[in-house]
Amino acid sequence: MINHLNITQFLEKAAVLPVLDVRAPIEYTAGHIPGALSLPLFTDEERKQIGTAYKQISRDKAILLGLDYFGPKMSGMVKLATKLAPHKEVLLHCWRGGMRSGGVAWLLDLAGFTVNLLQHGYKDYRRLALHLFEQKYPLLILGGMTGSGKTEILHHLHQAGEDIIDLEKLAHHKGSTFGPIGQPPQDTIEQFQNKLALALYGLKNSNRLWLEDEGISIGKVTIPKPLYDQMQAAILIKIEVPQKERIRKLTREYCQTDKAILTDAILRIKKRLGGLATKEALQAIEMGDMEKMVELALVYYDKAYSFQLANKKPQQLITIPLTTTNAEENAGQILAELKKKKLIMN
């Protein structure tokens, strides 16, 4: 049985059924529906050859060439699909709901699968993503100097019932020159934005949504500009944590990091730190004095963040002093302060 689904129906079923992406590996790597599994009909080279035949000879020639490649793979694709979906019901798509997904859907239907086919393919998911980035959201932005524990606070806000999206977790990057340390490799910009779109889709009925204050770039990926513009215009909850507490927290986080990685991070901001501070930071790393290294790096990061805040309108800023980096306590204190100011009612 083959069912044709729109993108809303498709995503609802994706919560419980495997999603099979039959595009070529290069297309899947560039960006895919989060959670989708790659079941390519053609290799990258085969896809290229079929495309060349379509452009230079004819559509009929391209179809015949595709069938030549498809035929020997049929048995293997059914076996792999059975491993991926032992209950024999799948969600399936290609780029725009054309011949590739149609061919694989026919094959799996023949093999006894229930196939739920995305009508307009991955292209429809991208269309939805761009639409979501342009929607208006009830944003609250959590800001503060580096080392204030904003990400941890964000997750304790979530435990308290608040809706959040952890942009740094989605980006696999903490946002600074030290951001890649301990993180998986970053996705492509398209894939980061695909994950972000799905997170927004899941919170479409949110009363308010907390995000951490970020630049438009998080490492090598970028926040979509319509959403970033909203973030810039939203209320910013600026927490103020004593520098000593921030130094202690960052020292704990980086004390086990390889010295070569820390050295490379410091060298990437050498021009901004200045020659003397860079030299002292490198010496501190070599001596194992991580507190000193962090203190020197914070001079740059604190100055950069203060400069960034200077562009905010006074009515956008709500400053909340905190005495420690205890994220659970700080989340509770932030919520209490916002309720006191009647910025949140529940």
Q: CATH number of the domain that 223 lies in?
A: 3.40.50
Q: Give, to the nearest 10 degrees, the angle between helix 259-268 and helix 275-287.
A: 170
Quote the pLDDT of residue 106.
94
Name the strands in the sheet holding 37-38, side by side, starting at the edge strand that comes first in the sequence: 2-5, 114-118, 89-93, 19-21, 37-38
For residue 303, is pLDDT > 80?
A: yes
Are 266 and 297 in contact by the 8 Å Cβ rule? The answer is: yes
Q: How far apart are CA 235 and CA 283, in angstroms?
A: 41
Calculate what percentage of the chain has a pLDDT beyond 70. 100
What single string gives the DSSP state of each residue in 87-130? TSEEEEE-SSSSHHHHHHHHHHHHTT-EEEEETTHHHHHHHHHH
Residues 167 and 301 in one domain: yes
The H helix count followed by the E strand count for the chain is 17, 12
Does the residue 276 lie in any domain? yes
Quote the pLDDT of residue 341.
86
Q: How far apart are CA 31 and CA 283, in angstroms?
A: 42
Q: How far apart are CA 121 and CA 104, in angstroms?
A: 13
pLDDT digits (tens, 9 = 90+) for 26-64: 999 999 999 999 999 999 998 888 888 878 898 878 888
Quote the pLDDT of residue 32.
98
CA angle at 252 for the pair 248 and 254, rounded to the nearest 5°: 115
Residues 121 and 144 in one domain: no
Choose, from 33, 94, 139, 198, the residue flagged as catalytic: 94
Quote the pLDDT of residue 257.
84
Q: How far apart are CA 288 and CA 264, in angstroms?
A: 15
Does the residue 346 lie in any domain? no
For residue 188, is pLDDT > 90?
A: yes
Cα R_g (the chain), whole angstroms: 25
Locate tokens 């790096």: which residue?
297
- Per the structure, how many domains does the chain have? 2
| CATH number for the domain that contains residue 123 | 3.40.250.10
Provide the whole-model pTM.
0.91
Quote the pLDDT of residue 175.
82
Quote the pLDDT of residue 307.
85
Residues 158 and 116 in one domain: no
Is 255 a known active-site residue? no
Query: E strand or H helix at 26, and its extent?
Result: helix 25-30
- Final residue of a structural domain among 110, 130, 150: 130
* 85-89, 129-133, 205-209: the lowest-pLDDT one: 205-209
Does the residue 345 lie in any domain? no
pLDDT digits (tens, 9 = 90+) for 82-111: 999 999 999 999 999 888 999 999 999 999
- Final residue of a structural domain among 98, 130, 162: 130
Calculate what percentage of the chain has a pLDDT beyond 90. 72
Residues 115 and 140 in one domain: no
Residues 183 and 315 in one domain: yes
For residue 128, is pLDDT > 80?
A: yes
Would you give the DSSP letter of residue 313? -
> In 3D, which of 324, 182, 156 has the Cα closest to residue 258?
182
- Final residue of a structural domain among 130, 164, 180: 130
Highest mean pLDDT pick, 39-53, 113-127, 242-256, 282-296: 113-127
Residues 102 and 143 in one domain: no
Average pLDDT, the chain: 92
Query: E strand or H helix at 296, and its extent?
Result: helix 290-309
Tell me the residue range of the domain where 67 lies.
Answer: 2-130
Residues 85 and 202 in one domain: no
Q: How far apart are CA 19 and CA 321, in angstroms?
A: 46
Q: How far apart are CA 104 and CA 144, in angstroms?
A: 51
- Which residues pair with residue 141 across a beta bridge? 211, 236
Q: How far apart are CA 334 and CA 162, in angstroms?
A: 12
Quote the pLDDT of residue 87.
92
* 89-98, 132-141, 205-214, 305-314: the lowest-pLDDT one: 305-314
Residues 53 and 78 in one domain: yes
